[in-house]
Amino acid sequence: MRDKRMTGQQVVGRLRSGMTIGIGGWGSRRKPMSLVREILRSDLTDLTVVSYGGPDVGLLCAAGRIRKLVFGFVSLDTVALDPHFRAARQTGRIEVAEYDEGMLQWGLYAASLRLPFLPTRAGLGSDVMTVNPGLRTVADPYGSGEELVAMPAVPLDAALVHLNRADAAGNAQSLGPDPYFDDLFCNAAEHAYVSCERIVPTAELTRSAHPSTVVVRRLAVEGVVEAPGGAHFTSCVPDYERDEAFQREYVTAAGDPEAWAGFHRRYLAGAEPHHRRPATTATVIAAAPAPTTGGKPV
């Protein structure tokens, strides 16, 4: 199996302005934040971002990198709306396609199957059809008379996801209670990149966990990045919970341009892992397993 290990900088170096990029995770949970911060340090712009959004969307909105957002929601879980997303949405700085959560899942699934659309009942009877006037319905061709939404495929140029464990070939494992839709993001993309808490030998992925926890398969993955604490400040259970204190600091700073400039200078301008507060950095790194190279501790 080919060794696909890369750095975050190498991953972002393969992306281009104008791309459609899917970002895995869910709200403020298991987001590939180290890769998002690499985008912030790059010159990428004019992006279409597809996400069940959290601070990934907020940070990219704050930096002016998003042209269009395709989303089911943008939430910090314990904070209803990401403040940077809310400001961008209310001022019309970004184009949006807002779908029901199940519709977005179905759009990614259609893209993963290389189909133009999939029929669904999700969205019927709601304003989703009003705010997305391009959506169409289709009649059941088998004669039931039912009219269904024809959810268009949401193909991606690239996908970025963060998992608990991966091997060097790109098989990636979710050890938390929910895999979210990271597999669909990867399968819907031309190029998929996985960051993870720890790269381990392939056999270790199923030694202490059920094989079904390996939710992303190597054939869909182009690069793997070992990034302990790489989901911070979102959660990556069971490795670590969301850093609520850091999230509150993020939200507070977002409300004031001067405070945000200070936040950006302290936490976003430097290389990984210096984005974290010192105490948080020590806690997250201590909780994360030791980095490995080729399955051997370094």
Share of the chain above pLDDT 90, in %: 89
Residue 295: pLDDT over 50: no
Query: What is the enclosing helix (H) or strand (E) of 109?
Result: helix 101-112
Query: What is the enclosing helix (H) or strand (E) of 71?
Result: strand 66-74
3-state secondary structure of 136: strand
Radius of gyration for the alpha carbons in the chain, expressed in angstroms and rounded:
19
Instruction: Tell me the pLDDT tens digit for each residue of 114-129.
Output: 999 999 999 999 999 9
Compute the mean pLDDT over every residue in the chain, rounded to the nearest whole number: 92
pLDDT value at position 208? Answer: 82
Using an 8 Å Cβ cutoff, are 253 and 263 in contact? yes
Residue 292: pLDDT over 90: no
Residue 251: pLDDT over 50: yes
CATH fold for the domain made of 8-101+154-289: Glutaconate Coenzyme A-transferase (3.40.1080)
pLDDT value at position 275? Answer: 62
3-state secondary structure of 297: strand
pLDDT value at position 271? Answer: 73
Domain with CATH 3.40.1080.10 in the chain: 8-101+154-289
**Residue 174 to residue 191: CA distance in whole angstroms:** 20
pLDDT value at position 94? Answer: 98
Instruction: Tell me the pLDDT tens digit for each residue of 162-200.
Output: 999 999 999 999 999 999 999 999 999 999 999 999 999
Structure tokens at 124: 């019927």
Residue where the block lists tokens 């319905």: 137
Instruction: Tell me the pLDDT tens digit for each residue of 41-89.
Output: 999 999 999 999 999 999 999 999 999 999 999 999 999 999 999 999 9
pTM surpassing 0.85? yes
